């Protein structure tokens, strides 16, 4: 009976831990309750995941290791996808509002914003 209760408790603990790990969108480190984490790193600081870096930066992997680097501006070379855990290979993604596209070398481009005003045709009468 004790073995059955221990197995049940173990299964519940494992199931609770997996709840945080099965998100298909992103990976986050699972820390024990009460764990103290260091503040996010600035540009040039070493990192192991994207969560180790401040907003506006990414964790970039190069031949010399992984460091926090700033997001890319319009016209700069960029990367679309992280390897794993928010770590990018050679280049960071674009700042929000920019899109990384182009072949053979992807670069950041401004994304056209849709007009907030309706378009009217001259042959139709409009009333308010």
Instruction: Looking at the structure, give the CATH architecture of the domain made up of residues 40-110.
Output: Ribbon (2.10)
DSSP character at residue 107: E
C-beta separation of 61 from 89 below 8 A: yes
Question: Is the pTM higher than 0.75?
Answer: no
Q: Among candidates 118, 75, 73, 122, which has minimal Cα distance to 93?
A: 73
Tokens of 58: 């990414």
Per residue in 23-34, pLDDT (tens digit) is 445 556 677 888
- pLDDT of 38 reads 73
Task: Show me where the domains of the chain are located.
Answer: 40-110
- CA-to-CA distance for 26 and 58, rounded, in angstroms? 14
At residue 14 the predicted structure's pLDDT band, cuts being 50, 70 and 90, is low
């Amino acid at each position: 009976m004790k073995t059955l209760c221990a197995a049940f408790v173990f299964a519940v603990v494992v199931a609770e831990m997996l709840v945080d790990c099965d998100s298909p969108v992103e990976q986050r480190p699972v820390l024990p309750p009460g764990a103290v984490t260091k503040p996010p790193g600035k540009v040039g600081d070493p990192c192991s995941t994207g969560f180790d870096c401040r907003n506006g930066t990414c964790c970039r992997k190069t031949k010399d290791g992984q460091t926090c680097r700033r997001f890319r501006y319009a016209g700069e070379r960029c990367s679309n996808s992280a390897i794993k855990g928010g770590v990018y290979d050679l280049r960071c993604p674009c700042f929000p509002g920019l899109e990384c596209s182009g072949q053979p070398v992807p670069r950041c481009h401004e994304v056209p914003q849709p007009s907030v005003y309706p378009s009217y045709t001259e042959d139709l009468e409009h009333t308010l």
